[in-house]
Amino acid sequence: MKKRFFTLIISLILIIWFGFADGLQITGYVRNYDGVLLNDDMDFSIVQNTLDLNFSMQTSKVGFKVNPYIYQYSDKTTVFDVREAYLDLFFNSFDLRIGKQQIIWGKADGVFITDIISPKDLTEFLLRDFEEIRMGVTAVKFDYYIGDNTFELVWVPVFSATKFPEQGSIWAVTPQFPIQPQFDFSRKDIKPSIKNSEIFAKYSVFSSAIDFEIMGGYTWDADPVIHTLKQIDPFTHQLLSLTAIPEHHRLTVAGGSFSTTLGPVVIRGEGAYYWGKYFQSEDPMLKEGVVEKDYLNYLLGADFTIKGIKFSTQFIQQYILDYDNFIVNNEVNNLMTFLARKDLLSGDTLHLELFSYFGLTDEDGLIRPKISYDITDGVNILLGANIFFGDKGMFGRFNKNDMVYVKIKYSF
């Protein structure tokens, strides 16, 4: 709450400071979003009204942006926050951005590999637009330019974790334990300090032949791992009690991404190696039920157009090195995505799109067809569906959450 209040105050100061200057731009949108589950009762999965505003201004030397938003739900719950509130300073060969900001790295669509600086809001799983899934992070970002080369340095003084659904949400995932545990949250919070801050660096080149990025980071795992302390009867070996302790761990990450054109096809790739990743384990010899392993995550993708239809596909693999069979996660997890999009009618006002995840390892997935129409400039209506399949895995666990939805949006 204190962080949100501080961000709001800084946002108001920026708006007031620049509010009387020429060039202030106010944009945003108003949206109604209604979703219905495809169950016997046709329950509402979401009824949400949104107001999203952008206050921005830029000159040759300075600029700023403030992006407050409000979500109002049918149960009268109202969420107010500021997604971004930053100040830009422009110099001859470098820029500085200071404040709350979304930072997007990599070439992947729909997955996060090197794009790990901005934490994720997963309160609606992966169904929100990605500009809403990525949360702003308080940071100082330094970009230095030499021709087609950019050196980027990001310092994040205060750690922000992934935001998960509250218990009772249809998107909440309940961890499985052999008995009902007691929870101990004493290790979950990361105390703000210089020692606990995060640092990232990236070198990128944009040329006519190839675009590529090389990155590294010393960060925290935004998703906590649950340690478990067990009390076992020494005579019967029966489990007497269980304490679950969520904890974030330090990660060292190195990776990169590229894109290049081969004839009519754009080839993309991205990968990252993680040192210090913790996984839950069923090894009875482990004191707290977790084990540290290195971890590799990468993708290869292709984008092309056939008869006016834009296609994109990606193969993503996650691989745990030095694997043992006690680890709860799969040693290898393979995933594919598929996108097809076609614009129709005069002025390309009708948009057809199909985006899908296919889990090759767990045989699960998510199919997301949608159709949208630009009624007038600024007014759009979208009809879509989210269809889950499978019995396990990241998508299969939500196979009862199939839904259809409509969004009516006015942008200004």
- What does the pLDDT look like over 342-394, one tens digit per residue? 999 988 999 999 999 999 999 999 999 999 999 999 999 999 999 999 999 99
Joined tokens for residue 221: 């795992």
Is residue 196 within 8 A of residue 249, CB to CB? The reply is no
Residue 71 lies in a domain: yes
Residue 233: Cβ-neighbour burial (10 angstroms; 0-12, 13-18, 19+): exposed
Q: How many CB atoms lie within 10 A of CB 129?
A: 8
Q: What is the pLDDT of residues 116-160, one digit of tens each?
A: 999 999 999 999 999 999 999 999 999 999 999 999 999 999 999
List the strands of the sheet with 225-232, edge to edge. Answer: 182-183, 239-247, 225-232
Residue 8 lies in a domain: yes
Q: Per-residue pLDDT for 3 more than 80?
A: no
Number of H helices, E strands in the chain: 3, 22
Say how far apart CA 301 and CA 299 lie, in whole Å.
7
Structural domain for 24, as ranges: 1-79
Residue 61 lies in a domain: yes
Q: What is the pLDDT of residues 43-54, one digit of tens each?
A: 999 999 999 999
Say how far apart CA 350 and CA 359 lie, in whole Å.
30
Q: What is the pLDDT of residues 160-170, one digit of tens each?
A: 999 999 989 99
Q: Per-residue pLDDT for 340 more than 60?
A: yes
The total number of structural domains in the chain stands at 1
Percent of the chain with pLDDT strictly greater than 90: 87
Q: Per-residue pLDDT for 19 more than 80?
A: no
Residue 53 lies in a domain: yes
Residue 168 lies in a domain: no
Joined tokens for residue 208: 């006519």
Given pLDDT bands bounded at 50, 70 and 90, which one contains residue 275? very high
Residue 273 lies in a domain: no
pLDDT of residue 76: 86
Say how far apart CA 159 and CA 258 lie, in whole Å.
28
Residue 28 lies in a domain: yes
The predicted model scores a pTM of 0.91
What backbone torsions phi and psi does residue 130 show, to the nearest 5 degrees?
-70, -25
Joined tokens for residue 372: 């949208």
Rounded to the nearest integer, the mean pLDDT of the chain is: 94
Residue 4 lies in a domain: yes
Q: Per-residue pLDDT for 289 more than 80?
A: yes
Query: What residues pair up with 242 in beta bridges, in sequence order?
Result: 230
pLDDT of residue 113: 97
Bigger pLDDT: 220 or 175?
220
DSSP element (H, E) containing 235: none
Q: Per-residue pLDDT for 4 more than 80?
A: no
Bigger pLDDT: 23 or 220?
220
The closest of 194, 215, 193 to 204, measured between CA atoms, is 215
Say how far apart CA 266 and CA 210 lie, in whole Å.
10
